[in-house]
Structure 1
Amino acid sequence: MQITVYGATGTFGRRLVAHLREREHSVIAAHRGIGVDTYAGEGVTEAAEGSDVLVDCVNFMTNNRHKALDFFSRSSRSIALAAAENPGAAMVCLSIAFKPEVAQSKLLGYYQAKELQERVYRRLIPADQLLMFRSAQWFELVDTMTFTAGPVAFVPKMRVRALAADEAARMMAEAIDAGERGTIEVAGPEVSDFPTIARRTAAADADSAVSDGAGPSGGPRTRGIPKIVSVPIPGSMSGNGLIPDSPRLSAVTVDEWIRSR
């Protein structure tokens, strides 16, 4: 198959491109670097020409409600219009696993925007051509959402069933290969929270930083483990709001992911 992946250089997109090519698909890696701007609508239709599947992996991380809603509404519409120019092509949207109450919070503009993105695709793409792929949060996101001040790392206390981004990409590639439609949710093997994942990662990093020389006592010098401070998150994100009910599960644990980095 020929598959166009929008957002092909992002955390998820570049992994998906690799998995699809391993499966011997012809992949058009569409991104701004080659003149494809889904927000502005530039090059989007051209990148879709002749493709059997279009995949939206485009992302814009912000909790500014206005900016998030504006970006995802415009970006998803431009890709949906490109799909309309390719009758019969399947459309796959990368979304997030979250409960409706998460998007209802006015503090969480990003999740409101992802809910809007799903509505755009469900309205503009026929159901028999659409796959909504809802992934739980990725291990990689913990570092992105951590604020560090000296030896202290502040981590939002989000309760998650996280998985590796590469595992999510692999599972999407499998679903595309199988021609699946409807909604799929994927997640990791265990329920945890961001501070716990951050502590495991920091401890492993400290262990692996065995030194480039002897410490003051003649033994190996190691990097200290930062103090992880949990930052309370209001509402359902600290409960089960981000935990999918019946997801397909990756078997890769956070410790296995840490060792494979």
Structure 2
Amino acid sequence: MKVVVIGGTGLIGSKVVAGLSEHGHEAVAAAPTTGVNTLTGEGLADVLQGSSVVVDVSNSPSFDDEAVMEFFRTSTANLLKAEGGAGVTHHVVLSVVGTDRLQESGYFRAKQVQEELVKASGIPYTIVHATQFFEFAKGLADGVTEGDTVRLPAAGIQPIVSDDVAAAVVRSAVGAPVGGVVEVAGPEAFQLEEFIRMGLAAQNDPREIVTDPQATYWGAELQENTLLPGADAHIAETTFADWLAQQK
């Protein structure tokens, strides 16, 4: 089976390509660096020729509200149109647990539009919702740092390693379309402050971490369960502590 992975050279995409190849499928990494640009449509028709499944794990190069909306709306529309012409029978897209609960954020409004386009396309689909990645603890802290202080809202989070996210995407790609959302999360829930504290401590990062009732997450206010998966989520095995130990 030929599977085209949009964003196939990135953190998740490269792991998805490797996982599909290990299962004996023809996995093609598609990205601007390989001559495929979903924003302009360049290379889409050629790369999709003969493909059965398309996996979209691409992300916007800019998180500015207008730019990220333009990216997900335009690239998804171009991709779905090209898939219709190529006879693709399964579209798999990676999104985020809690997207529909984070609509105060420009980024998550754009992700919601992406999901709605996929649902309305007529192409059989699976939407994979993943929780926050272990790898992004420092980047998340950087985005809410003022001076030497990291200000975080009080909320739960159940983070997951990127390897396990990629494995979930591969499972969806080789399986039948579900016509809905499947969730994947790590094995442990933390308070957001605890997750970030552990991540920064492992890197000997001295920043002070405080819980601030006024703090937001990518511009959105959080409730305790906003970032947490539902009861039917697939729970991965890799713990944050084990992953941190491997980074040393």
TM-score, with length taken from structure 1: 0.82
* Alpha-carbon spacing, 1:240–1:48, altered in 2? closer, same or farther (3 Å): same
Whether 2:137 is the aligned partner of 1:142: answer: yes
Whether 2:165 is the aligned partner of 1:168: answer: yes
* Alpha-carbon spacing, 1:151–1:102, altered in 2? closer, same or farther (3 Å): closer
The structural deviation recorded for 1:131 is 0.9
Deviations 1:205-259 (A, max 9, x none): 34xxxxxxxxxxxxxxxxx744334552275424222212121111211111212
Any stretches of 5+ residues in structure 2 without a counterpart?
Answer: none
Q: Report the equivalent of 2:229.
A: 244
Structure 1, 235-244 or 9-18: larger mean CA deviation: 235-244
Structure 1, 174-183 or 141-150: larger mean CA deviation: 141-150
Query: Which of 107, 120, 123 is matched with 1:123 structurally?
Result: 120
Any stretches of 5+ residues in structure 1 without a counterpart?
Answer: 207-223
Whether 2:77 is the aligned partner of 1:77: answer: yes
Q: Report the equivalent of 1:190.
A: 188
Task: Confirm or deny: 8 A CA contact 1:138 1:162 kept in the other structure.
Answer: yes
Task: Confirm or deny: 8 A CA contact 2:148 2:207 kept in the other structure.
Answer: yes
Give me the whole-angstrom Cα distance separating, in 2, the residues matched to 1:124 and 1:166: 29
Give me the whole-angstrom Cα distance separating, in 1, the residues matched to 2:96 and 2:53: 20
* Alpha-carbon spacing, 1:113–1:150, altered in 2? closer, same or farther (3 Å): closer
Give me the whole-angstrom Cα distance separating, in 2, the residues matched to 1:62 and 1:98: 21
Give 2:41's aligned amino acid: G
Give me the whole-angstrom Cα distance separating, in 2, the residues matched to 1:155 and 1:197: 13
**Is the partner of 2:36 in helix, strand or coil?**
coil
Task: Confirm or deny: 8 A CA contact 1:62 1:110 kept in the other structure.
Answer: no
RMSD of aligned residue pairs (Cα, Å): 2.4
Give 2:196's aligned amino acid: A
Give me the whole-angstrom Cα distance separating, in 1, the residues matched to 2:236 and 2:159: 9
Give me the whole-angstrom Cα distance separating, in 1, the residues matched to 2:245 and 2:8: 25
* Alpha-carbon spacing, 1:196–1:178, altered in 2? closer, same or farther (3 Å): same
**Is the partner of 1:146 in helix, strand or coil?**
helix
Give 1:152's aligned amino acid: D
Give me the whole-angstrom Cα distance separating, in 2, the residues matched to 1:43 and 1:36: 5
The structural deviation recorded for 1:49 is 1.0
Task: Confirm or deny: 8 A CA contact 1:6 1:13 kept in the other structure.
Answer: yes
Give me the whole-angstrom Cα distance separating, in 1, the residues matched to 2:152 and 2:59: 20
What does 1:23-102 align with in structure 2 at a 5 Å threshold?
Answer: 23-60=23-60, 62-98=62-98, 100-102=100-102
Aligned length: 239
Q: Report the equivalent of 1:218.
A: none
Give 2:106's aligned amino acid: G
Give me the whole-angstrom Cα distance separating, in 2, the residues matched to 1:150 and 1:22: 44
Structure 1, 91-100 or 116-125: larger mean CA deviation: 91-100
Task: Confirm or deny: 8 A CA contact 1:159 1:237 kept in the other structure.
Answer: no
Q: Looking at CA atoms only, which structure, 1 or 2, has the larger radius of gyration?
A: 1
TM-score, with length taken from structure 2: 0.86
Give me the whole-angstrom Cα distance separating, in 2, the residues matched to 1:151 and 1:74: 37
Give me the whole-angstrom Cα distance separating, in 2, the residues matched to 1:89 and 1:195: 42
